[in-house]
């Protein structure tokens, strides 16, 4: 299997893992008078933050954001020079300074990607001018839960807030920082939140044709990850001017964003840029990158497909191609990190086993029904629900003859609502849940790792699925936990009273982890540390389903003894 991109080209279900969409934050009001008066007279921007001003100086120039009902937001701030022309497929360069005050009231361009049915993503994006980020700053005191965390951590006298940098999902081929609007999360947790755009697909992960000679780490193909690192460096240099603490940065992400976090944990050059990490459904394929030889072969095949077959001239030829042609040619290839060289010397799992990864606290987990999204895309979403007669062959095609037969014994279709759901359980357990548990075991050799499982099986499907008009039971599927933490696509999720209570508890867990490195929520158990309770996870559930509880049955419930013997590589 090719990670999460295996079904992305299907006509009706293009991009389930590509969490995209553009919608300005609701409730935005005009620039407050005091913000309009605050300007380039402040010494470092922090004094303005204390007055509630929406004008802040970055190291490249002044930016003017917006005041909203939740705090302040600064959108579309460039953190690197835009990778166009001769800068296509080069490491990100320092952003060019600007004069005057730059408006930061609208999201920047999304990076090059195809269309999808996610809200606002109906048309393709061909713009390479996209290396922007967004900063959300809460006003006043933090919410009660976060305030208590600050007091326990002894940080009450520090006016600067901890920071979360969020990396979006989308299979490393789609999505944007704007896919979540975390303004409410920022306010209720007392956290400065930064969301990031980074190069995608071939633009972000092309290796091979003439590029190795230009890569400072001697191996090309990691440009999207280098963008993420450049954003982290921007945060270290600038977030203090927005009231954030550059010493207390949590790197977080979901799906491909979580996999990116996993990669940065193993990358020597990213060490020291964050003090804790959150991996949501990101351990698939054991966070593995492409081996250098395979990546170079893929790059050569891509160049031929794009009409640049001569290795001696391929790079110049590809740089001359319009983004539309690059996007058209990238279909069918597996885009992702490349192993070898300075950026990622060895596979992440090897780095974790050696103890050479970053030894920071990690919050790591998955959802209980990860696979329903992908199984629906393959079968019911195509108008061809999987039947009991077809089920054994589907397992064999996906997992191979021997493993498929063993999976059939563990996941008999008569134990599930439909054969599609039986297939989904096997797929989700192998790709996500058991991978997350293995990652917890590996990272526990270096530091604290807290395991969770989002298990609200009554949760409403995220926005892209709600528009389908299907009654398919997705349960706690891939991506669904995101809308409990943030405004997904800027939208309000239709949660009932119990689910809203769970969402508040989850925000407290995540906020506590960002503040103190330990995920706690008043009235609920602390997430278990894998160093002392390996394999135990915090099950996040509504009150009627038993409430939040630490469980020791995750490995057996998801048949990890089967999948751990043949990791998904």
State the catalytic residues: 255, 370, 478
Beta strands in 180-275 (DSSP E): 180-181, 192-196, 244-254
Q: Which of 229, 485, 265, 435 is nearest to 362 (CA)?
A: 265
Nearest-angstrom CA–CA distance, 161 and 246: 9
Nearest-angstrom CA–CA distance, 118 and 175: 9
Nearest-angstrom CA–CA distance, 77 and 83: 15
Contact between 338 and 207 under an 8 Å Cβ cutoff? The reply is yes
Structure tokens at 255: 């799906």
Structure tokens at 253: 């992400």
For residue 71, report the phi and psi dihedrals to the nearest 5 degrees. Answer: 155, -135
Q: Which of 354, 316, 274 is nearest to 85 (CA)?
A: 316
Rounded to 5°, angle at Cα 180 from 235 and 148:
70
**Chain centroid, CA 429 distance in Å:** 19
**Residues whose CB falls within 8 Å of the CB of residue 111, separated by 6 or more in sequence, listed in order:** 125, 127, 128, 130, 131, 176, 197, 198, 199, 200, 203, 204
Q: Which of 489, 497, 499 is nearest to 466 (CA)?
A: 489
DSSP secondary structure, 219-230, as one string: ----HHHHHHHH
Neighbours of 337 (CB within 10 A): 28
Contact between 431 and 446 under an 8 Å Cβ cutoff? The reply is no
Nearest-angstrom CA–CA distance, 44 and 117: 42
Nearest-angstrom CA–CA distance, 246 and 238: 8
Q: Which of 57, 53, 50, 76 is nearest to 66 (CA)?
A: 53
| Crossing angle between the packed helical segments 419-428 and 391-399, to the nearest 10 degrees | 20
Count of all residues that appear for the chain in the document: 569
Say how many Å lie between the first and final Cα of the chain, rounded: 8
- What strands lie across the sheet with 61-64, from one edge to the other? 55-58, 61-64, 101-103
Nearest-angstrom CA–CA distance, 518 and 527: 8
Percent helix / strand / coil, the chain, rounded to 5 = 35, 15, 45
* The dihedral sign for the CA sequence 152, 157, 159, 160: negative
């Amino acid at each position: 299997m090719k990670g999460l991109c295996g079904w992305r080209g299907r006509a009706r279900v293009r991009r389930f893992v590509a969490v995209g969409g553009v919608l300005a934050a609701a409730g935005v009001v005009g620039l407050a008078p005091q913000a309009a008066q605050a300007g380039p007279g402040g010494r470092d921007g922090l004094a303005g933050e204390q007055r509630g001003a929406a004008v802040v100086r970055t190291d490249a120039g002044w930016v003017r954001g917006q005041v909203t009902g939740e705090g302040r937001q600064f959108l579309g701030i460039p953190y690197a020079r835009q990778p166009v022309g001769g800068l296509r497929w080069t490491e990100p360069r320092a952003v060019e300074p600007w004069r005057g005050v730059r408006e930061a009231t609208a999201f920047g361009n999304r990076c090059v990607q195809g269309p999808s049915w996610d809200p606002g993503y109906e048309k393709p994006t061909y713009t390479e001018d996209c290396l922007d980020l967004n900063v959300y700053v809460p006003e006043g005191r933090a919410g009660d839960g976060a305030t208590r965390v600050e007091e326990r951590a002894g940080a009450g006298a520090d006016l600067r807030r901890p920071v979360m940098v969020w990396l979006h999902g989308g299979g490393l081929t789609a999505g944007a920082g704007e896919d979540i609007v975390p303004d409410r999360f920022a306010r209720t947790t007392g956290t400065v939140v930064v969301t990031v755009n980074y190069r995608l697909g071939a633009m972000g992960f092309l290796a091979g044709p003439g590029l190795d000679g230009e890569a400072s780490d001697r191996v090309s193909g990691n440009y999207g990850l280098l963008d993420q690192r450049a954003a982290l460096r921007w945060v270290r240099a600038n977030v203090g001017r927005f009231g954030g603490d550059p010493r207390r940065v949590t790197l977080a992400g979901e799906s491909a964003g979580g996999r990116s976090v996993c990669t940065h944990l193993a990358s020597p050059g990213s060490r020291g840029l964050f003090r804790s990490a959150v991996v949501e459904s990101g351990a698939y394929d054991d966070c593995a990158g492409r081996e250098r030889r395979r990546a170079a072969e893929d790059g050569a095949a891509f160049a031929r497909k794009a009409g640049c077959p001569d290795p001696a001239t391929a790079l110049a030829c590809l740089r001359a191609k319009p983004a539309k042609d690059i996007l058209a040619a990238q279909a069918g290839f597996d885009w992702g990190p490349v192993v070898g060289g300075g950026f990622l010397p060895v596979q992440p799992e090897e780095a974790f086993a050696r103890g050479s990864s970053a030894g920071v606290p990690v919050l790591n987990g998955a959802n209980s029904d990860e696979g329903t999204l992908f199984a629906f895309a393959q079968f019911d979403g195509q108008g061809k629900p999987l039947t009991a007669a077809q089920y054994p062959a589907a397992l064999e095609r996906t997992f191979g003859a021997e493993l498929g037969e063993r999976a059939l014994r563990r996941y008999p279709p008569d134990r599930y609502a439909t054969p599609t759901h039986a297939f989904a359980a096997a797929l989700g357990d192998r790709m996500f849940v058991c991978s997350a548990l293995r990652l917890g075991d590996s990272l526990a050799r270096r530091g604290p790792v807290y395991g969770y499982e989002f298990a609200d099986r009554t949760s409403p499907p995220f926005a892209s699925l709600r528009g389908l008009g299907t009654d398919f039971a997705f349960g706690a599927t891939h991506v669904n936990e995101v809308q409990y933490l943030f405004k997904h696509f800027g939208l309000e999720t239709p949660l009932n009273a119990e689910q809203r209570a769970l969402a508040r508890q989850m925000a407290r867990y995540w906020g506590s982890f960002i503040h103190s490195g330990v995920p706690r929520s008043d009235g609920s158990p602390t997430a278990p540390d894998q160093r002392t309770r390996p394999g135990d996870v915090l099950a996040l559930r509504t009150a009627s389903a038993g409430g939040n509880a630490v469980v020791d049955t995750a490995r057996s419930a998801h048949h990890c003894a089967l999948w751990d013997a043949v990791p998904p590589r």
